[in-house]
Amino acid sequence: MSLKNYPQIAIDGPAGAGKSTVAREVARRLKIKYLDTGAMYRAITLKTIRNKVNIDDLKALEGMLANTEIELDEDKRVYLDGKDVTEAIRQPDVNAMVSPVSCISMVRRRLVGIQQKIADESEGIIMEGRDIASKVIPDAHFKFYLDASLEERARRRMKEQLEKGIQLAENKVASEIASRDKIDSSRDDSPLTVVDDAIVIDTTAMTFEEVVDKIVKEVSVGLR
Ligand code: DC
C-alpha cells in the first residue's frame, strides 16, 4: 500500500477515550475510510445475547459465527444479518458482555480477518479499536494511542448519553469502563497495548478539536 495515496492509520486506546468521534472526523478531513472495529465486536455480542448462545460452548459459537453477516456502511450504521442494529449495540446489555465475548480467540480470528480484508481493499483507512496497531494492521503508516483519565472518560460518556436523554450516574459509568479496561488489557489474545512506535496522546485536558488537529497534523507532516 502506498503511503502517499493510501495511508493506513491505527488508533487504539481504552473505552471512552474518544477514539470513535476523533477517528470519524480525521477520516472526513483526510477523505479516507473509517472503520469502528468495536462495533463489530458489539454486533457479535448482541447476536449471542439475542440467540441465547452460551459463550463457553465453542461449538454453538462456531455455528453462530458461520451464519453471521456484519456490515458497516458509509453512514456509520451497523447491520447484523441485514438488520440495522446501530442503536441496539450501544445498550447496557451489550456493554456488559462485549469484553468477555472479545476475549474469545475464535471471535477475534473471524473479525480480524474481515478487518484486514477491508484495510487491504481500501484506498486509505483509519481504523480504531484495541489491537489495530498490534495485530490488525501492524504495518500501519501511523499509529496513535488515545488515552484519558478514568474520571474524564466517564464524564465524556455521561455527557454523550445525556445528549440522547439518558441520565447515568458517574460512579456507575466509571466502574463499567474500568471493568472493561481490565478485561480488554489482560486477556491472552491480543490485549490492549501501546506498541513501541505509537504516538501516545493523553486527551484528558484536550478538546475534541485539539485531538483531531494533532492527528491530522502528524499525518500531513508524514505524508509530505
Ligand atoms: O470501542 P468499543 O468500546 O465500542 O469496543 C467494545 C469492546 O470491543 C471493547 O470493550 C473490547 C472490544 N474490542 C476489541 O477487543 N478489539 C477491538 N479492536 C475493538 C474492540
Side chain identity at residue 162, one-letter code = L
43 close to 86: Cβ distance less than 8 angstroms: no
Q: Specify the residue with its C-alpha closest to ligand 1, atom 3.
A: 15
| Residue 192 CB–ligand 1 contact under 6 Å | no
> For residues 137 and 80, what is the distance between their CA atoms, to the nearest angstrom?
24
| Residue 102 CB–ligand 1 contact under 6 Å | yes
Confidence bin at 2 (pLDDT 50/70/90): low
| Residue 131 CB–ligand 1 contact under 6 Å | yes
Q: Which of 195, 185, 198 is nearest to 144 (CA)?
A: 198
> pLDDT at position 4, please?
57
> pLDDT at position 53, please?
97
Pick left, alpha or beta for residue 192 (phi over 0 → left; psi -120 to 50 → alpha; otherwise beta).
beta
Strands (E), 38-148: 70-72, 78-80, 83-84, 125-129, 142-147
Q: Specify the residue with its C-alpha closest to ligand 1, atom 15.
A: 102
> pLDDT at position 161, please?
84
The structural domains of the chain, with segments of one domain joined by +, span 8-211
- 144 φ, ψ (degrees, to nearest 5): -120, 145
> pLDDT at position 160, please?
84
The model's pTM: 0.95
Question: Is the torsion defined by CA of 198, 203, 209, 210 positive or negative?
Answer: negative
| Residue 12 CB–ligand 1 contact under 6 Å | no
Q: Specify the residue with its C-alpha closest to ligand 1, atom 20.
A: 38
113: CA distance to ligand 1 center in Å? 16
**DSSP-assigned letters across all residues of 156-205:** HHHHHHHHTT----HHHHHHHHHHHHHHHHH-SSS-----TT-EEEE-TT
pLDDT digits (tens, 9 = 90+) for 15-70: 999 999 999 999 999 999 999 999 999 999 999 999 999 999 999 999 999 999 99
> For residues 199 and 55, what is the distance between their CA atoms, to the nearest angstrom?
35
| Residue 184 CB–ligand 1 contact under 6 Å | yes
Record the cell numbers describing residue 112, joined without a space: 480480524
| Residue 104 CB–ligand 1 contact under 6 Å | no
State in words which class domain 8-211 has. Answer: alpha beta
- Mean pLDDT, rounded, for 121-136: 97
181: CA distance to ligand 1 center in Å? 10
> For residues 97 and 41, what is the distance between their CA atoms, to the nearest angstrom?
10
129: CA distance to ligand 1 center in Å? 6
180: CA distance to ligand 1 center in Å? 9
- Mean pLDDT, rounded, for 88-92: 93
Q: Cα torsion for 11, 22, 205, 186, to the nearest 10°?
A: -30
Query: What does each C-alpha distance from 174 to 103, 106, 139, 153 come to in angstroms?
Result: 21, 29, 33, 8
Q: Which atom of ligand 1 is nearest to the CA of 19?
A: 1
pLDDT digits (tens, 9 = 90+) for 130-168: 999 999 999 999 999 999 999 999 999 899 888 888 888
